Amino acid sequence: MQESSTIKHSNSGRSRNFIEESIEEDIREGKNKGRVHTRFPPEPNGYLHIGHAKSICLNFGLGAKYKGLTNLRFDDTNPVKEELEYVDSIMEDVRWLGYDWGDRLYYASDYFEQLYEYAVILIKKGKAFVCDMQADEISATRGTPKRPGKESPYRNRSVAENLDLFERMRAGEFPDGARVLRARIDMASPNMHMRDPILYRIIHAAHHRTGDTWCIYPMYDFAHGQSDSIERITHSICTLEFEVHRPLYDWLIREIEIYAPRQIEFARLNLSYTVMSKRKLLKLVQEGHVNGWDDPRMPTISGLRRRGYTPDSIRNFAELIGVAKRDNVIDVSMLEFCIREDLNKRANRIMGVLNPLRVVIDNFPEGVVEEMEAVNNPEDPDAGTRRVPFSREILIEREDFMEDPPDKFFRLAPGREVRLRSAYIVRCESIEREPVTNIVTTIHCTYDPTTRSGMPNSNRKVKGTLHWVSAPHALESEIRLYNRLFRVPDPDDTEEGKSFKDYLNPDSLRVVTGYLEPAILTAKPGEKFQFERVGYFCVDKDSSGTNLVFNRVVPLKDSWTKAGG
């Protein structure tokens, strides 16, 4: 099965979103000579999730749509939080989604020297100063959103003293937290970010890329905008919470007198029945509520990948949900729709029974095995056919039999006929039970030898078609049935005294043994199948040899149980 190859930029007649309108307006006005250059700027302090996927698709999509470029840049300005492991996983995820940054892999840490010089420029202009206050003092004098802050007593140091102190900060003369470099803007600004924000802090810690070269590190606000500027990014697409930072970025760029990108903010993605904050996801991992960042229940890209989501389905999802500035919560059913739509077209079918009930076909000769020919994918004629062994004893789904069924039950019941998919029509003749519990243990059927699929008499109408597997040939596999991780649509909305973890779904993972067609044996990790009438499943990396492990990607739509069946 082909996973994903080329990305189509159909433009599909879809109306332009507000970002595209802004970009086209800029192009019309001749800004940047019509050039479009975007970037995806993650901090390597965690794994990417579906919300990042939205941003990745947006940025790389825009770059492609306007025949421009898109960079990958790690905003790695905080050595104590960032790790190489995250850098690697982020690159893998972006690539897996189908995007290519070419030779434009950058790190904010690549610009540390340049950033330092920018800081010196500000100091020389009297626009930045070294402040000796402690963190708590700075915090206390910053004021509140409603009350102005107080100016630092160090605010009016001479340029020469500031220059000297800043140089000595860099040289490592002071311990962590002793001093910071701050912009000199306006402590009374209604925008908190303009109240003499901190530009540089002292951190004696090794950086994953620059090692011990630096002991002062720029704050995100002093690195991000200028990094975009250095890379000549034309459109800095980011989420809403950075809207308030924009005046600061503009101020910095104006004072330093460098190229000014245009920042456009959009609303981040929220998904129902899950959490999206890195902090909360990290907590789920650390406290063992899930089995790692790539647990198939996680909304991380690696989790979705392991679950069995395809890059195409995620890209299509990003396209479908659109982009705007208002807060939004996308229903998971939208995501599920995207993966069903994709897998329906590309996943080969196979039969697998998850909750087996033994069926003996009394008039079928003992010891005989017939090879049935089954269509691999009715949606794709090129997918071909396969052989499925059929014998006297088969397994069907326990839910596909009812002793005393309601009218609308189209499956097996005493005296009733059903079609066994790709095989014969059978009739239920009798039932065997366990004497004490009275539980049905075996169904006895007879088959009609003239109704084998493909035979002239095979199109006789019967109400239902069942999937099955030959009992002696069945391959036992571990099947992991995943459900939503949380019981409530919005786990972030917590009642008094509760945390999001109180809403975890205790039934988010159920492990069962499945009995599968032997043809599945050659399946490789990552491969996806539709278990007919059941759902889509993906071979997990925990598989080994003949011990296959499957993750349920998503069940098939089921109008029978939904109708109360």
Which tokens in the block code for residue 296?
Answer: 């198939």
CB of 42 to RNA, least distance (A): 7
- For residues 295-324, which are near RNA according to CB under 7 A? 320-324
Of 27-46, binders to RNA (CB under 7 A) are 43, 45
Q: Please select the residue that binds RNA; options are 58, 69, 123, 180, rule is CB under 7 A.
A: 180
| Contact call for residue 160 and RNA (CB under 7 A) | no
| Residue placing its CB nearer to RNA in the complex, 193 or 398 | 193
State both tokens at 272.
């129902």
12 touching RNA, by CB under 7 A: no
- Tell me whether residue 526 or residue 565 sits nearer to RNA (CB atom): 565
By beta-carbon proximity to RNA, the closer residue of 88 and 373 is 373
Query: CB atoms < 10 A from the CB of 81, how many?
Result: 13
Member of 54, 184, 245, 416 binding RNA (CB under 7 A): 245
CB of 28 to RNA, least distance (A): 11
Q: How many residues bind RNA (CB under 7 A)?
A: 97
Amino acid letter, 465: T
The rounded distance, in Å, linking the Cα atoms of 72 and 60 is 10
Here's the x/- map for RNA, 365-384, by CB under 7 A: it reads as ------------xxx-----
Under the criterion CB under 7 A, does residue 78 sit at the interface with RNA? yes
Q: In this complex, which beta carbon is closest to RNA, that of residue 285 or of residue 295? A: 285
328 counts as binding RNA under rule CB under 7 A: yes
| Tokens 């460098």, located at residue | 258
Identify the H or E element spanning 549.
strand 549-555
CB of 107 to RNA, least distance (A): 11
Active site residue 345: no
154 binds RNA (CB under 7 A): no
CA-to-CA distance for 165 and 558, rounded, in angstroms? 69
Q: Which of 84, 135, 171, 521 binds RNA (CB under 7 A)?
A: 135
What's the rounded Cα separation, in Å, for the pair 306 and 177?
42
Minimum distance between the CB of residue 100 and RNA, rounded to whole angstroms? 23
Residue 257 annotated in active site: no
Q: How far is the CB of 156 from RNA (least distance, A)?
A: 18
Give residue 350's identity as a one-letter amino acid code.
Answer: I
DSSP per position, 341-365:
HHHHHHPEEE-EESSEEEEEETTSP
> At a CB cut-off of 8 Å and minimum separation 6, what does 297 contact?
290, 303, 307, 482, 484, 485, 508, 509
For residue 364, CA distances in Å to 284, 358, 447 come to 53, 15, 7
Verify binding: residue 241, RNA, rule CB under 7 A. Answer: yes
Write the interaction track for RNA spanning residues 535-564; mark x where CB under 7 A is met and - where it is not.
Answer: ---------------------xxxxx-xx-
Secondary structure (DSSP) of 153-201:
TTTT--HHHHHHHHHHHHTT-S-TTS-EEEE-S-TT-SSGGGSS-EEEE
Active site residue 43: yes
Q: According to CB under 7 A, which residues from 447 to 476 bind RNA?
A: 451-454, 458-459, 461, 464-465, 467
Site for RNA in 191-220 (CB under 7 A): 191-193, 198, 201-203, 217, 219-220
Give yes or no for residue 115 binding RNA (CB under 7 A): no
Out of 150, 278, 280, 358, which one is annotated catalytic?
278
Question: Minimum distance between the CB of residue 455 and RNA, rounded to whole angstroms?
Answer: 7
Q: Binding RNA by CB under 7 A: which of 90, 138, 474, 548?
A: 138
Amino acid at 494: T
Measured from the CB atom, the residue of 8 and 28 that comes closer to RNA is 28
Output the smallest distance, CB 237 to RNA, in A. 14
Catalytic residue among 43, 336, 397, 532: 43
153: contact with RNA by CB under 7 A: no
* Residues 516-535 contacting RNA, CB under 7 A: 530, 532-533
Strand duo 549-555 + 535-539: pairing: antiparallel
Q: For residues 396 and 438, give the distance between their C-alpha atoms in angstroms, rounded to a whole number.
A: 19
Q: How far is the CB of 547 from RNA (least distance, A)?
A: 26
Closest contact distance (angstroms) between CB of 239 and RNA is 8
Question: What are φ and ψ of residue 161, in 5° steps?
Answer: -65, -40
Enumerate residues 262-281 that contact RNA by CB under 7 A: 267
What is the distance between the alpha carbons of residues 264 and 242, in angstroms, rounded to a whole number?
9
349 forms part of the interface with RNA (CB under 7 A)? yes
Which one of 31, 65, 150, 268 is the catalytic residue? 268
For RNA, give the closer residue by CB, 81 or 541. Answer: 81
Q: Could you write out the DSSP letters of every residue in 404-436?
A: S--TT--SB-TT-EEEETTS-EEEEEEEEE-TT
* Helical residues (DSSP H) of 29-172, grouped into ranges: 50-65, 84-96, 112-124, 135-141, 159-170
Site string for RNA, 396-425 (x = CB under 7 A): ------------xxxx-------x-xxx--
The two beta strands, 393-397 and 417-420, are unpaired
The torsion of the CA quartet 188, 189, 193, 196, rounded to 10 degrees, works out to -40
Active site residues: 43, 268, 278
